[in-house]
Amino acid sequence: MPRQPRGGICVEHLGVEADKVTEDASFIDDLGADSLDIVELVMAFEEEFGVEIPDDAAEKITTVKDAITYIDEHKG
């Protein structure tokens, strides 16, 4: 399966414009995510990038940059 373009998962799951998905964007404050959206995003990141994100780590992922950093540090 081809990878989504940068920000594609956020655009798809949150229905936001791609230009709003910046590294500094907060999933909740800037992209309008709620707690269910966050769970779905984490699951999508796990599937797309082949990483496992435990609950304690997921709670610390609040911005796009946090997600990128975690994925980069943990992908196989």
34 is catalytic: yes
| Pair 9, 41: CB distance under 8 Å | yes
CB neighbours of 25 closer than 8 A, spacing ≥ 6?
31, 63, 64
* Candidates 19, 24, 29, 34; catalytic one: 34
| Pair 42, 61: CB distance under 8 Å | yes
> Known catalytic residues?
34
